[in-house]
Amino acid sequence: MTLYPNLLPLAEELTTRSVHPERLAPLTRLAALIVAESSVQQTVPLTFICTHNSRRSHLCQVLAATAAAYYGVEGLLCCSGGTEATACNERTVAAFQRAGFEVTNVSGGTNPIYEITCSTGTPPIRAWSKVYNEDGNPDSGYIAIMTCTHADQHCPLAHGSSQRFSLPYRDPKEADDTPDEAATYDARLREI
């Protein structure tokens, strides 16, 4: 699979970076679980969960799906959801576009559905805000990955999940409407 030319610099940058030591252990356990699950089932569903399903969970969903496509990992189903639904934040969408993804708003409205692609050879990743176990996401047997501390603390049980991991990231929302907004969103995308 060949990424879009505008996305290649990000991929090359990220493949040369090391994982922060405090994230290495949980990511190693998650990778081992994915390998084990893939040996017994064709599809391994992951649902990235944050409070509003507007920023971090979408960043994680799209980047995990892109990494799977880039490395030829088959059978990984990457989804996202929140403990409540709002909308995929337009700043998150802009960060994807700056990184080189192609983004299309296919529905409009107050909670638009975006189709995000990383190459001409992969199906689009659909991103919109929804509760983690609503239609569009698996409702059982998925691996829940908590991407924010609020959801991690206030959603101790992800109903229907087979496993639960805590991998929180700082909310880029802290920079909304400041001169650092774009840089903060871009940095979070690269961190994730």
Instruction: Report how far residue 22's alpha carbon sits from residue 42's, in angstroms, rounded to the nearest whole number.
Output: 30
Q: Which residue has the tokens 């698996």?
A: 138
Strands (DSSP E) along 60-141, which ranges? 76-82, 102-105, 114-117, 125-127
Task: Please provide the distance, in angstroms rounded to a whole number, between the alpha carbons at the two ends of the chain.
Answer: 21
Q: What percent of the chain has pLDDT over 70?
A: 100
- Neighbouring residues of 180: CB distance < 8 A, sequence distance ≥ 6: none
Instruction: Report how far residue 47's alpha carbon sits from residue 143's, in angstroms, rounded to the nearest whole number.
Output: 6
Strands (DSSP E) along 36-188, which ranges? 44-50, 76-82, 102-105, 114-117, 125-127, 142-146, 161-166
Question: 3-state DSSP call for residue 142?
Answer: strand
Tens digits of residue pLDDT in 36-89: 999 999 999 999 999 999 999 999 999 999 999 999 999 999 999 999 999 999
Tens digits of residue pLDDT in 103-127: 999 999 999 999 999 999 899 999 9
Q: What mean pLDDT is predicted for residues 120-143?
A: 93
pTM, two decimals, is 0.96
Instruction: Report how far residue 162's alpha carbon sits from residue 133's, in angstroms, rounded to the nearest whole number.
Output: 13
